[in-house]
Amino acid sequence: MHIALIVAHPDDADIYCGGSVAAWRSMGSEVTIMIATDGARGGNFDPEKLAQLRATEATAAAEVLDANLIQLNFPDGELAQSEEFASRLTAEVVRLKPDLLVAHAPNDYHADHRAVSAGALIAASFRAPVLWVDPMMGNDFLPNYYVDITPFQDLKERAILCHNSQRPEHFVEMSRVQGHFRSAQCGQLGGFAEAFAMIPFTHLQISVLCFPLPLRFSRLLSKALADADAQKPVPVFLEKIHR
C-alpha cells in the first residue's frame, strides 16, 4: 500500500500527522510526503536562504520518519493564486499511483492549506480516496478516523524538532496537547492519537480498499462512515498499532 501526503509547508506533515506516517511505515506501507511550497515566508530571514534551510530540515525530518519526500517548491503564501499547482499535483498523483491521498482539510485556517485541499480533490479525482488531516488544535473539524500514535509520538517529536527555523518546541507542545485530546476522545486517556476525516465518497469501498485493518475495525469504520452519511452521531474508535 502506498500512502501519499500533500501538505503546504515543509513542517506540516510532521506536525499534523507525523505519528501516522511512522505508524503506516511500521505496517509496511510506502509513504511519500509531497510539500507544495518552499516555505520561504516562514520567518524573518532572507527568503532564498530560508527556503534552502527549510528544504534541508524537511529532508532530515523525512529521514526520521523513513518516508519518501518530494518538494514541489511553489512560492510560499501564493498557492491559492497558482494556476499550475493542481495540474502539477495531478501529474504527481498519476505518476505515484497512491492508494490513498492525505491532505489538509478544506476549512483549514491557512490559505495555502485550503489551496492544497482543493488541489488534492482535483488530483485525486477517481484515482485515490482522500483523507483530510486534523487542523491545528482541531478547530471546526469532526474526525471519523483515528490512529493511535502512542508508540510513535517520540518519532513524531524528533521529526518536528528537525525544523529548527520554526520554533519547533512550540509545535511539539501543541502536538502533545492535541494528541492527548484526540486519544481521550477514543477513551484512551494518557495516550496520543491523530485524527482524520474521510470525504464523502464510496465509503465502504474506501474502508475495504485502503486500510489494512483487522476485520472488526473495518466493520466499525464502515458503520461509522455510513452513520456519518446519514447525519447520525458518529461513534469513535481507535486503530491500535503496536510496534
d(CA 117, CA 210): 19
For the CB of residue 14, give the shortest distance to Zn ion in the complex, in Å. 11
Based on the shown chain and the rule CB under 5 A, indicate whether residue 104 belongs to the binding site for Zn ion: no
For the CB of residue 209, give the shortest distance to Zn ion in the complex, in Å. 29
Any idea which residue has 509496511 for its cell?
A: 28
For the CB of residue 115, give the shortest distance to Zn ion in the complex, in Å. 11
| Buried-state track 170-205, b at ≥16 Cβ within 10 A, e below 16 | ebbeebeebbbebbeebebeebbbbbbbbbeeebee
For the CB of residue 129, give the shortest distance to Zn ion in the complex, in Å. 23
Cβ-based nearer residue to Zn ion, 9 or 182: 9
Nearest residue relative to Zn ion (C-beta): 9
Residue 85's CB: how many other CB atoms inside 10 A?
24
Based on the shown chain and the rule CB under 5 A, indicate whether residue 203 belongs to the binding site for Zn ion: no
CB 53 within 8 A of CB 44: no
Contacts (CB under 5 A) with Zn ion, residues 3-32: 8-9, 12
For the CB of residue 10, give the shortest distance to Zn ion in the complex, in Å. 8
Cβ-based nearer residue to Zn ion, 15 or 206: 15
Q: Which helix (H) or strand (E) holds 70?
A: strand 68-74
CB 149 within 8 A of CB 23: yes
d(CA 40, CA 157): 23
Q: Which helix (H) or strand (E) holds 130?
A: strand 130-133
Based on the shown chain and the rule CB under 5 A, indicate whether residue 163 belongs to the binding site for Zn ion: no
Count residues near Zn ion (CB under 5 A): 3
Cβ-based nearer residue to Zn ion, 12 or 38: 12
Cβ-based nearer residue to Zn ion, 12 or 239: 12
Q: Residue numbers of the site for Zn ion (CB under 5 A)?
A: 8-9, 12
